[in-house]
Structure 1
């Protein structure tokens, strides 16, 4: 199998797994809301967190595919830069929410939920791409 085909298969697999993980997290939080474990007011925070994560993962996988096809020898720099940009964009989203919403409890709930999504996806990315690099999916 040639390199481009491996990259395409891996990127589709990443996107599929990340969507399943986001759906599971969203469903878990929705179930917690319906059982009154979480407050109903956190629904907006849940929607923002899920949509942000889908959006960022979509952008991430597009650029990953492009970098893996054109410059596979600099993937470690890509992982570092992508993580830094993801952190900056997450900080921007949390800051924007803090500026828009003035209720301290709502801000705290949003930040905790958003951090949960962020950390789960960070761990997922690390494990997924460590496995990809270890199993020589991108190597000849």
Structure 2
């Protein structure tokens, strides 16, 4: 897939969440879940600022350990975040119910909503969370992408 590139037309007219969900389905093939190494970062490169990767193991300990957080996702919070975020923080990156839905259903979850960032701005988002696995059966990480709209106070 790395020979393919996202066209500017597709990037303008298609939601980020739809593009990454299509990619997830393509790389999943006949497996239950794709592997993290199956993600085609060259293909996804124009979208990576709006993406994140969560280590599932950290959720058990009450923290979200991020392997990767894109620049647009970070900027939506109004300041830099650490790569470990408390599970009680009010934001789409820490919505425990959506993460639990994914872990129980073992299927991608699409969600939208809004939150107030550290600057008091209202951030509206549409996101897709997708399970990844090392062995094809046990979910070990979650790949997500967000369309973000910031409305300054």
User: Quick check: TM above 0.5?
Assistant: no
Which of the two has greater strand per residue? 2
Which of the two has greater helix per residue? 1
Instruction: Give TM-score scaled by structure 1 length.
Output: 0.29
Instruction: Give TM-score scaled by structure 2 length.
Output: 0.27
Structure of larger gyration radius: 1
Identify the structure with bigger relative contact order (alpha carbons < 8 Å, sequence gap 6+). Answer: 1
